Structure 1
Amino acid sequence: MSEEVVVFVTCPAVASQNFAEQLIESNLAACVNILPSIKSVYKWEGKLTVDEDEALLIVKSNLAVWADLESKIRAIHSYEVPEIICVPIVEGHEPYLRWLNQSVLLQAQGERQKT
């Protein structure tokens, strides 16, 4: 059984295209949507913080590559504690889910066999 997931990641807007491309090129994501110009409001070290120029990445992937995906995001992210949230896809359009799995799982298997 496949375990398709959506992963939400916030990052500086200027870095969002690079993030998306690296995740796709690494076969860790089938598709990354970039929602530019979001504002995040939160407390950091007890102080109200507002990040005015962030982007939200919506990453479609599979739980089978979660550890590598999270590791890759942490490696390229500039934040000390980046937002990386993984949620399961309960249902979806079957042809899309099939494409998602082929894009991530089959390509990732091919890359592992080359090494």
Structure 2
Amino acid sequence: MEYIQVLTTVSSADEGATLARSITSQRLAAGVQIIGPIQSLYWWRGSLRDEQEWQLVIKTTRALLDALENHIKANHSYEIPEIIATEIATGSDDYLSWISAETQRTDAS
């Protein structure tokens, strides 16, 4: 199985908690960490923005990336949310097995 870590940012701690809860409750990820606040500088519509954001670090499998991306886009306040996935090249067998086990969808999830 291929494992990935997905990053996205949101505009508030509340939005981060809501999005993280919906991602994990649908078993699109084994876990989500919310980091922040962070300072983000970026270009948007011709202006340099300097904003406070919260970053979500999402642990999941490559097989769930498309569903996760669709979920983030459908439940995010940004017009173009950051969605960046990086491969987890290696990790402890126990941790990677936990990701596998917790992203298995069941009738109860």
TM-score (norm 2): 0.93
Q: Residue type of the partner of 1:80?
A: E
Question: What is aligned with 1:36?
Answer: 36
After TM superposition, list the pairs within 5 Å mapping 1:86-105 onto structure 2. 86-104=85-103
Instruction: Give CA deviations for 1:47-82 in whole Å, capped at 9, x if unaligned.
Output: 111112x10000000011111100000001010110
RMSD in angstroms over aligned alpha carbons?
Answer: 1.1
Question: What is aligned with 1:50?
Answer: 50
Query: Cα offset for 1:39?
Result: 1.2
After TM superposition, list the pairs within 5 Å mapping 1:1-115 onto structure 2. 2-13=1-12, 14-52=14-52, 54-104=53-103, 106=104, 108=105, 110-111=106-107
Identity percentage of aligned residues: 34
Q: Distance in 1 between matches of 2:45 and 2:18?
A: 28
Question: Aligned residue pairs: how many?
Answer: 107
Gaps of 5+ in 2: none
Gaps of 5+ in 1: none
Q: Residue type of the partner of 1:30?
A: A
Query: Cα offset for 1:12?
Result: 1.4
Q: Residue type of the partner of 2:35?
A: L
> Could you say which structure has the higher helix fraction?
1
Query: Cα offset for 1:91?
Result: 0.3
Q: Residue type of the partner of 1:66?
A: L
Instruction: Give CA deviations for 1:68-114 in whole Å, capped at 9, x if unaligned.
Output: 1000000010101100100000000110000101111x2x2x24xx8
Q: Distance in 1 between matches of 2:18 and 2:2?
A: 26
Q: Residue type of the partner of 2:87?
A: P
